Structure 1
Amino acid sequence: MQLNQKTILGPVNRVLATAQNGLEVLRLGGLDTAVEPTPFEVLERRPMYRLRRYFPEVEAGSRPAMLLVPPMMLDANVYDVTRQAGAVGVLHDHGVDPWVIDFGSPDREAGGLARTLADHVVAVSQAVDQVRAQTGRDVHLSGYSQGGMFAYQAGAYRQSAGLASIVTFGSPADTLAALPLGLPEGLATKGAEILADHVLNKVYLPAWAARIGFQLMDPAKTAKSRIDFLRQLHDREALLPREQQRRFLEAEGWVAWSGPAIAELLKQFIVHNRMMTGGFVIEDRLVSLAEISCPVLSFVGEVDDIGQPPAVRGIVRAAPRADVYEMTLRAGHFGLVVGSTAAAQTWPAVAQWALWREGLGPAPDKVHPMEVSTETAGPSGVSVSSRITHGVTSIADIGLGAAKGLVGITLGVGRSSAAIAGEAVRTLPRLARLGQIQPHTRVSLGQLLDEQARRSPDGECFLFEDRVHTNEAVKERIDNVVRGLISLGVRQGAHVGVLMDTRPSALAATAALSRLGAVAVLLPPDQELATAVELGEVCAIIADPEHLETAARTGCQVYVLGGGDTRDLGLGDRPGVVDMERIDPDSVRLPDWYSPNPGLARDLAFVMFTRSGGRTEAKQITNRRWAVSAFGTATAAALGRGDTVYCLTPLHHPSGLLTSLGGAVAGGSRIALMGTFDPGRFRDEVHRYGVTVVSYTWNQLRELVDLEDPAVDDHHPIRLFIGSGMPLGLWERVLERFAPAQVVEFYASTEGSVVLANLSTGKPGAKGRPLPGTAAVELAAYDAVSGRFLEDEHGFIRQCEVGEVGRLMARARADVDPSTATMRGVFAQGDTWAPTAHLFRRDGDGDYWMVDNIHSVVRSAAGPVYTMPIADALAALPGIDVVVSYGIAAGEHECAVTAVTLRGGAELTSADLSEALSALAPDQRPALVHVVDSIPTTTWYRPRSKELRAAGAPAPGPAAWSYNPAGGKYQRLTKASLQRMGLPVGAARNGVATSSRPAGTGIAE
């Protein structure tokens, strides 16, 4: 049989061609494509980068300028793989002036392996300035993958100055929305944290490792492309069009990563996800993507397994002030910027976008405003339906994807349980530490801050005025203040007042006294200062410049701290005042008696002050008492290193010291400080700082819920509000305004070690239940009128039934704080309890509800009237703003009066009052209700009744009502009603008490 020559020579030629092409690949690394690189010139050379301008023959400034940013692991030639189909070539052909920032390869640059993430962001910002200087135009800043993250970060760092727009490709903003390979969030964040803290801060990632890591993201695709290349190795003409792209991906396109840059990337944007929450740090400055205000275009790959669609679309929430657009392509991660799809769709659309934004053409057809997708993502973040629609994967791939989707559903069902278990693992050490605190245990504020500095010296401790103070810097500042205090003769056990606004120096002063073993007396900046100084046995006062004169008037020695070491206080030789900032800590010799953090759990650490019954009372707080509240708060609020606690609470208030500051320090969270409460600053800083937890006291959040800036509402990072005293009406407004954030209300008594926390989302207004590791509590039957406990038939104090009001008692430990008054033989022989000053009731679920302080109960003729339930009942009326109830003298008894302020435009009628207060028993309803222009508050935002009580009964008129017991209704107050109650007619109108507004302006009958 005669064989055809083609049949014989065909396979032979194929083998020969394969051998010849294979030898060329082995010798040269690939096939010779004879393609010339796109022309460019380097216009700027700096240690961090070189700035390329492509097609230099074109007049600079004659076209829209676009700066392209590569990711750290890829060579800058990712934008110039081919002249005809590469980014720079297509952009040029479509009328755009392309520029590229080239970071080089860190392992070949001087100091390259020490580069940080911030170095790259600052370099991009500098390059923007240089392009603007050369072209005279605002710049379209564009980046692929991590290069797009750099573009976002640089845009935020610059607050969009000089940017015409930002364009990104497969760049995640919400890195935890969908992790590569379907990694569980907890595993990914923990692994990233370990790598950042213990591995990558010491080594770097070579180019070959970066290449392998990228290929392992999609091993099947990598294997398939290599097999396809080998199968076509005989067909040179078929391989040449894709050869440059293959060589780029297989070898030439990869560069090394510096270890510090990767560590910072993992810590800030994987562990803490601060692209979404805000508060990432660039050159010690706090930055948030919320500061981006220029237009944004984000390219989304439907089958991108690295920059998954949910993660990429996070930018619409992270940058609420920007107009965010998207263009979706049926492409994977690399296909968004390189290859036929990129040449035909991506880069022409980018060019058209730039021309449109500058008024030089129409909008791209497929670009539309971004909306967060509601489609359920698979475990990789790429939905099963997108894979099927793409039509590229095989039936086996589809089956595997569907199976993964089912696994994802199964994992989703168990996610809440896993999250709870994860929280338990994190909080158990805190609870264990609580249980281990004994009288002789060393524990203090100063010690906890020292531990943080040892564990993470470069960790972020305080945020103040857009600057970051690391743990090590805070430790150094505290130690310097300690040396200054020692030089002034302060010793262990001395009572030193602290009279300062909430600022880093105030925390440093308080912590320094703790580290020294002295007692920090936290003075309230009001008219009772002299009384507080006397009760606190203060020997000297540390004051900031703002409180210098107030402190000096007490006659105490005054040490001025804070405000900067270059300020001039004009002290001269003023006796009794020392500027601590002028003390050189290096010149102070530490005495032999000094031992850092000597405080034991039983030692007195702080003295605080409360107002009760019209008088100032000193409350002594031991180290143990502080630690119990601190660790209890950290546990209840699940505070961790990823949280930023915005401390709005004054430090001289128990909630500020025991929960806000204490919880943040115990949880290792960042502490954001605001010197003086300013809702406008809050609006900006909540995003810039990445605030996840906000502290409060009483009515402090009123102004925040009334802000009309959508930047606070939309996609804010806040997950929790923590504090004490928030009225029910305000609580509900906060939940509505800042959804989905929740409120955790604490009650931390200054007597005993009681810490109650409301962890339920269904009981606004409740104080909750005792935290594990804190004192057990019980309600003792109590006559609030006579001020006596009620006994049972055996002579012991009777325990309250469910729903009955009683005095809260804390079980005293064997090592009870020496300052706490205790009672023995209370409920049983030999037991020991510490009575608090507050009255509670307990519901059937075991949750505690505060009803009053024993000193503010109204002693009416019908019995005690509790003030807090009145405010809770009136919270049902949406027009009510602030409420305070109090008693005024009416013969031998008191008359219960409630004053309210109204929200703008609201009206109040007799019917409204009657319906709202019908929720209370008749003997618990106020006899009088009146509308006032304003209600004074304390420095910690608690409504104050002193001035109102002094003004007496409200005057008859349209702004006041009296309760008619016969009909159970409220009616307009008249002179006759006042006379029947034995009250004087015609109360003083002092601008605080009775409103003079006529009916029809918020008051209606």
Structure 2
Amino acid sequence: MTTSDERTDELAPSTGTTEPTRRGGGRGIVGMPAAAARYASRVRHTARNVAEVVRFGGLETDEENSPFDVAAERTTYRLRHYFAASVPADATPILLIPPLMMTAEVWDVSPTTSAVAALHEAGIDPWVVDFGRPDHEPGGLQRTLTDHVLAVSDAVDRVVAATGRKVVLSGYSQGGMFAYQTAAYRRGKDVDSIVAFGSPVDTTAPLPIPIAPDVAARLAREIVDSGLLRNRAVPGWFVRLGFKALSPAKTVQGRMHFLMQLHDRDALLPREKQRQFLDSAGWTAYSGPAIAELLEQFVAHNRMLEGGFDIDDELVTLADIDVPVLTVVGSSDTFGHPDSARAIRRAAPRAEVYEVTINAGHFGLVVGSNATTITWPAVSAWIDWRRGRAPLPDDIVMADTVDTSKPLRPTTAATAIAQATELGIGVGRAVFTSARRASRLARSIAREAPAQLPKIARIQQLEPATRISLGLLLDEQARRAPSDIAFLFGDRAHRQWDVKARVDNVVRGLVSIGVHQGDHVAVLMDTRPSAFTLIAAISRLGATAVLLRPDSDVVREIRLGGATWVVSDPEHAGASDEVDGVTWAVLGGGGPAGGDATARPDLPDGVVDMELIDPDEVVLPAWYGANPHRAGDVAFVLFTGEGGGTKALHITNRRWALSALGTASAASLRPGDTIFSTTPIHHSSALLMTIGGAVAGGARFAIASADDPDTFWQEVRRYGATHVSYTWTSLRTVVNAPPNPAEHHHPVRMFIGSGMPRNLWRRATERFPTVTVLEFYASAEGEAILANVTGRTPGSMGRSLPGTAEVRVAGFDLQANRLQRDENGLGREAEVDELGLLLARVDPRDSFAGVPLRGVFEAGDAWRSTGDLFLRDENGDLWLGGAVAEVVHTAAGPAIPSGARFALGSIPAVDLVVAYGVHDADRGSDVLVAAVTLREDAEALTAADLDRVLDKLPVVMRPRYVQVVPTIPLTTWHRPHWRTLQAKGVPRPGRGRRVWALAADDVHYEQVT
């Protein structure tokens, strides 16, 4: 073969030099004109170069790649250590991660554009993760994204062990995504900082193809659900063609430049290695499972930005990244669009994020002249700054100072038209295609509401004999998407197939200890995964779950719930000594089924340890059939009230399903959404809305492990919570707390719950303007379910959910405490803005409808009292006035405490408000009393404040006394508890208490001294 030097000499005529000429004037070869000679030489050189390209795939450059050692070889990767024999003293190690679609040689394409060579020359120690070619590796085409993140994490451990220093994690394109994910997975352990080149974070940013991001998300979900990629891979040639198809103009331009220069070897050689890399050598196959995981977690659900993705079933969020980040942004990058790359600022609010912007496309960020002159010097300067050796250069700036108001490249639509024109497609056709896509997008938006119709239809089809239960809906979800995540707790993700297996095992355990279909089984547990699986197993068995409150009178609730069995966690097993006549068992606390009993906690005598039961050894009896419950059967027994006022609430499967399907429909819950509960699992809000709504909507659910604001935001980001359920004042500490870094750009779209005070509602929407509030009302008994779906009127309960019981506000005599009836004995519907009793129509066939009110509005109708007073406004929305039992019968007439609560809550300084009746011996009658707490750093309450807000109430509704107290107790479900204050009688001034009394004119308030 001819050497490169010889080839250079042969090319001399084509580069402007001349060959020695013989006599004959303008002739280079005897008898041949000089121009013809040059043309013949050019053809000869072109033919020779073409032959070399055809035979060897490219021109021989004689360039050698940078030397490296393989420091470790695992099943999923090899760890390359470049220039291992000449590591500079005191060098910082940098771990470079390629994207899956490219080989590790992207970091060492040629000596002139080599990242590892440039970094080595700058005194940095380069290491590279080499995933190899999956189609040539054993099991390579079955690798998942999780496999690659775990591989990078393992590589970090090995580099740290070898160097004794923290590592700079650096990745290009998807390699940068791996760097982010690994740092978050490791909670920053042994990571000095992160450098990412064109790495997307937000998949709602413009895409490199003319398709709307929400359409792409829907297509991604459909592809994943189809299972198309489960056992398939995308070959390397297809990846290469896809990459080129997304940049057709540049591809054609590069090909034409190569063909036009084929005669000039010197002109081609500097870029030849780069051309070969992009044309063939640099591309690898892409495993189907990895693509499926990418589509599911980061395209369909955008979890890089929102959080809640899992690595080896451990929950991960980029919000856990707290090390500095340098993001390298290409101004014309269509793959890692600037908007998407810059989203790391929102995804990692605890990290200091810096940016360097380069006038380059995606590949030019790490290969090419800009990489040589800008990228690698910037990385070197970054590492010097991290070591304290030099200040940051001017081109590396804090990311939040970058002006992102102007796009760095044309919009997706404009790009589509430009590319179409370059390929010879008429602009008119491109515009027509874009319009057609826009029309399809509009139709997809119009389909969002009908997507909820199956849930509404299912509500309407619930008859007493309809099979419906928590266990049944869980089984349906497990069949639909067995690999989807069902619920999240702590750092763990629990998938549908694992949940189903665990629930079935607990069913066998219950059968083993003697539980039968129809039995009442009490559950006494703190919030934990075992509590949910136990409740689901009781449902699947066909028994009734009695949910005891750990901080209440357990003995009383066991008796009220009719329980003959109690299953607790180990922490509550000690209560078994207080209860007679029941069989007590323990579930949870670790330890394998059928394992060593010495590994289990010590339990009281007579308590059965269900964790030691081997489910495979249990033979199911002939009577067992999974999910036998009907809509009319009692699914759960919940409790309300305190002490002697404790009351058992029997929740039928129909009532549970109404709440579950209604929540899923009203909140538009879909697969991939995560509903996060701030209340314990034994509360109706968690059971009916959080768990019920998630299971009915195919979403994920999570339950808070603590109620402090820091934990709240950590778990919101870790779970990727899109919906947060609340009850009463459970969001108060979050709303009142100082700003938390994790709340910036949070993923929450909606707060859903019941009982939120209007002043807290207002403060919540002011602090979190991107979040809407969906307030529910569900009667303690009966099937009245209301929802303020729009969230535009704080304090309103909205209207009945479709498919739920019809409700009406009936005229009510507060003094006589009964319905108002005419001379025919019929009641009447209350007028607009008239306070009345809310009634819900009942089906007389429902065995748990109780004794209904009949003949209320017409002969033969049947209704049930909710026990709550409501009024309907001119728009048809319903407003809760409070329970009938709360009405205070004063000397001036009945007083409704809710009026005082609403009015006092409008004072900005007021935090919590309660109003209640007490007996005033001096007056010889009951009086209305209000108590408030003030927000921290709020101005002191004055009589003028009280006069201003309470003047709007009728005299009879004004509280006789208003007191400021240090605290107002809260129940375990965060409802203000006023019984303790009521027991103290008429308020008197004291330490931490200020009291005002209504003056003799019934208008002004005077402070009591």
How does the TM-score come out when normalised to structure 1? 0.91
Q: Is the contact between residue 697 and residue 942 of structure 1 (CA under 8 Å) also seen in structure 2? A: yes
SS of the counterpart of 2:494?
strand
Report the CA distance shift for 1:378/1:357 in structure 2 as closer, same or farther (over 3 A).
Answer: closer
Could you give the per-residue CA deviations for residues 285-327 of structure 1, whole angstroms, max 9, x where no partner exists?
1111111111111111111111111111110000011110111
Q: How far off is 1:2 after superposition?
A: 10
Q: Is the contact between residue 708 and residue 734 of structure 2 (CA under 8 Å) also seen in structure 1? A: no
Report the CA distance shift for 1:607/1:387 in structure 2 as closer, same or farther (over 3 A).
Answer: closer
Q: How does 1:240-279 map to 2 (within 5 A)?
A: 240-279=269-308
Distance in 2 (CA, whole Å) between partners of 1:329 and 1:399 is 31
Distance in 2 (CA, whole Å) between partners of 1:794 and 1:482 is 56
Residue 945 of structure 1 pairs with residue 975 of structure 2:
no
Letter in 1 for 2:859: Q
Residue 769 of structure 1 pairs with residue 799 of structure 2:
yes
Distance in 1 (CA, whole Å) between partners of 2:793 and 2:838 is 20
Report the CA distance shift for 1:387/1:315 in structure 2 as closer, same or farther (over 3 A).
Answer: farther
Letter in 1 for 2:584: V
Residue 811 of structure 1 pairs with residue 841 of structure 2:
yes
Distance in 2 (CA, whole Å) between partners of 1:408 and 1:317 is 30
Q: Is the contact between residue 499 and residue 551 of structure 1 (CA under 8 Å) also seen in structure 2? A: no
Could you give the per-residue CA deviations for residues 160-190 of structure 1, whole angstroms, max 9, x where no partner exists?
1222210111101112222221322332112
Q: Is the contact between residue 303 and residue 387 of structure 1 (CA under 8 Å) also seen in structure 2? A: no
SS of the counterpart of 1:830?
coil
Q: Is the contact between residue 649 and residue 660 of structure 1 (CA under 8 Å) also seen in structure 2? A: no
Report the counterpart of residue 459 of structure 1 in structure 2.
484
Letter in 2 for 1:857: V
Distance in 2 (CA, whole Å) between partners of 1:57 and 1:547 is 62
Q: How far off is 1:280 after superposition?
A: 1.1
Letter in 2 for 1:563: G
Q: How does 1:120-159 map to 2 (within 5 A)?
A: 120-159=148-187
Q: How does 1:28-177 map to 2 (within 5 A)?
A: 28-59=56-87, 62-177=90-205
Q: Which of the residues 713, 724, 731 maps onto 1:694?
A: 724
Letter in 2 for 1:277: E
Q: Is the contact between residue 181 and residue 379 of structure 1 (CA under 8 Å) also seen in structure 2? A: no
Could you give the per-residue CA deviations for residues 403-441 of structure 1, whole angstroms, max 9, x where no partner exists?
9999999999997x6675242143122122222222222
Q: How far off is 1:381 after superposition?
A: 5.6
Letter in 1 for 2:936: G
SS of the counterpart of 2:487?
strand
Of residues 402-411 and 502-511 in structure 1, the stretch that sits farther from structure 2 once superposed is 402-411
Report the counterpart of residue 325 of structure 2 in structure 1.
296
Distance in 2 (CA, whole Å) between partners of 1:123 and 1:453 is 30
Of residues 120-129 and 366-375 in structure 1, the stretch that sits farther from structure 2 once superposed is 366-375
Distance in 2 (CA, whole Å) between partners of 1:894 and 1:867 is 13
Residue 423 of structure 1 pairs with residue 448 of structure 2:
yes
Residue 832 of structure 1 pairs with residue 862 of structure 2:
yes
Q: Which of the residues 971, 976, 990 maps onto 2:1006?
A: 971
Distance in 1 (CA, whole Å) between partners of 2:782 and 2:622 is 35
Distance in 2 (CA, whole Å) between partners of 1:579 and 1:902 is 48
Report the CA distance shift for 1:497/1:380 in structure 2 as closer, same or farther (over 3 A).
Answer: farther
Report the counterpart of residue 495 of structure 1 in structure 2.
520
Distance in 2 (CA, whole Å) between partners of 1:410 and 1:378 is 26
Q: Is the contact between residue 181 and residue 380 of structure 1 (CA under 8 Å) also seen in structure 2? A: no
Q: Is the contact between residue 31 and residue 243 of structure 1 (CA under 8 Å) also seen in structure 2? A: yes
Report the counterpart of residue 978 of structure 1 in structure 2.
none
Report the counterpart of residue 265 of structure 2 in structure 1.
236
Q: How far off is 1:220 after superposition?
A: 2.6
Q: Is the contact between residue 420 and residue 430 of structure 2 (CA under 8 Å) also seen in structure 1? A: no
SS of the counterpart of 1:9?
helix
Q: How far off is 1:373 after superposition?
A: 5.2
Q: Which of the residues 930, 944, 952 maps onto 1:898?
A: 930
SS of the counterpart of 1:660?
helix
Q: Which of the residues 586, 602, 606 maps onto 2:636?
A: 606
Report the counterpart of residue 669 of structure 2 in structure 1.
639
Of residues 315-324 and 805-814 in structure 1, the stretch that sits farther from structure 2 once superposed is 805-814
Report the CA distance shift for 1:206/1:758 in structure 2 as closer, same or farther (over 3 A).
Answer: same
Residue 447 of structure 1 pairs with residue 482 of structure 2:
no
Residue 561 of structure 1 pairs with residue 561 of structure 2:
no
Q: How does 1:532-681 map to 2 (within 5 A)?
A: 532-555=557-580, 556-565=582-591, 568-571=600-603, 574-575=605-606, 577-611=607-641, 615-681=645-711
Q: How far off is 1:518 after superposition?
A: 0.7
Report the counterpart of residue 387 of structure 2 in structure 1.
358
Distance in 1 (CA, whole Å) between partners of 2:112 and 2:836 is 83
Q: Is the contact between residue 522 and residue 546 of structure 2 (CA under 8 Å) also seen in structure 1? A: yes
Q: How far off is 1:550 after superposition?
A: 3.3
Report the counterpart of residue 481 of structure 1 in structure 2.
506
Of residues 81-90 and 594-603 in structure 1, the stretch that sits farther from structure 2 once superposed is 81-90
Report the counterpart of residue 218 of structure 2 in structure 1.
190
Residue 505 of structure 1 pairs with residue 518 of structure 2:
no
Residue 329 of structure 1 pairs with residue 362 of structure 2:
no
Distance in 2 (CA, whole Å) between partners of 1:965 and 1:70 is 81
Distance in 2 (CA, whole Å) between partners of 1:397 and 1:163 is 46
Q: Is the contact between residue 731 and residue 764 of structure 1 (CA under 8 Å) also seen in structure 2? A: yes
Report the CA distance shift for 1:182/1:754 in structure 2 as closer, same or farther (over 3 A).
Answer: farther
Distance in 1 (CA, whole Å) between partners of 2:827 and 2:665 is 33
Report the counterpart of residue 493 of structure 2 in structure 1.
468
Q: How does 1:779-790 map to 2 (within 5 A)?
A: 779-790=809-820
Q: Which of the residues 939, 945, 950 maps onto 1:912?
A: 945
Letter in 2 for 1:167: V
Letter in 2 for 1:922: V
Report the counterpart of residue 966 of structure 2 in structure 1.
933
Q: How far off is 1:739 after superposition?
A: 3.5
Could you give the per-residue CA deviations for residues 305-355 of structure 1, whole angstroms, max 9, x where no partner exists?
111111111100000111101111111111111112212211121112111
Letter in 2 for 1:954: P
Distance in 2 (CA, whole Å) between partners of 1:423 and 1:629 is 21
SS of the counterpart of 2:233?
coil
SS of the counterpart of 1:852?
strand
Q: Is the contact between residue 61 and residue 134 of structure 1 (CA under 8 Å) also seen in structure 2? A: no
Q: How far off is 1:208 after superposition?
A: 0.9
Of residues 251-260 and 450-459 in structure 1, the stretch that sits farther from structure 2 once superposed is 450-459
Letter in 1 for 2:1007: R
Could you give the per-residue CA deviations for residues 209-252 of structure 1, whole angstroms, max 9, x where no partner exists?
11112112222322222222222222222221111111101100
Residue 745 of structure 1 pairs with residue 775 of structure 2:
yes
Could you give the per-residue CA deviations for residues 497-522 of structure 1, whole angstroms, max 9, x where no partner exists?
22222221111111111101111122
Distance in 2 (CA, whole Å) between partners of 1:216 and 1:786 is 80
Q: Is the contact between residue 261 and residue 267 of structure 2 (CA under 8 Å) also seen in structure 1? A: yes
Q: How far off is 1:669 after superposition?
A: 1.5
Could you give the per-residue CA deviations for residues 421-470 of structure 1, whole angstroms, max 9, x where no partner exists?
24214312212222222222211000111112222222111211211111
Residue 707 of structure 1 pairs with residue 737 of structure 2:
yes
Letter in 1 for 2:694: A
Of residues 83-92 and 397-406 in structure 1, the stretch that sits farther from structure 2 once superposed is 397-406
Q: How many residues align?
A: 967
SS of the counterpart of 1:463?
strand
Report the CA distance shift for 1:965/1:508 in structure 2 as closer, same or farther (over 3 A).
Answer: farther
Q: Is the contact between residue 152 and residue 166 of structure 1 (CA under 8 Å) also seen in structure 2? A: yes
Q: How far off is 1:527 after superposition?
A: 4.1
Residue 339 of structure 1 pairs with residue 371 of structure 2:
no
Distance in 2 (CA, whole Å) between partners of 1:794 and 1:427 is 43
Q: How far off is 1:683 after superposition?
A: 2.9
Report the counterpart of residue 872 of structure 2 in structure 1.
842
Report the CA distance shift for 1:34/1:173 in structure 2 as closer, same or farther (over 3 A).
Answer: same
- Runs of at least 4 residues of structure 1 off by over 6 A? 1-4, 392-415
Q: Is the contact between residue 180 and residue 380 of structure 1 (CA under 8 Å) also seen in structure 2? A: no
SS of the counterpart of 2:559?
helix
Report the CA distance shift for 1:106/1:395 in structure 2 as closer, same or farther (over 3 A).
Answer: closer
How does the TM-score come out when normalised to structure 2? 0.91
Residue 26 of structure 1 pairs with residue 59 of structure 2:
no
Q: Is the contact between residue 735 and residue 741 of structure 1 (CA under 8 Å) also seen in structure 2? A: yes
Q: Is the contact between residue 558 and residue 578 of structure 1 (CA under 8 Å) also seen in structure 2? A: yes
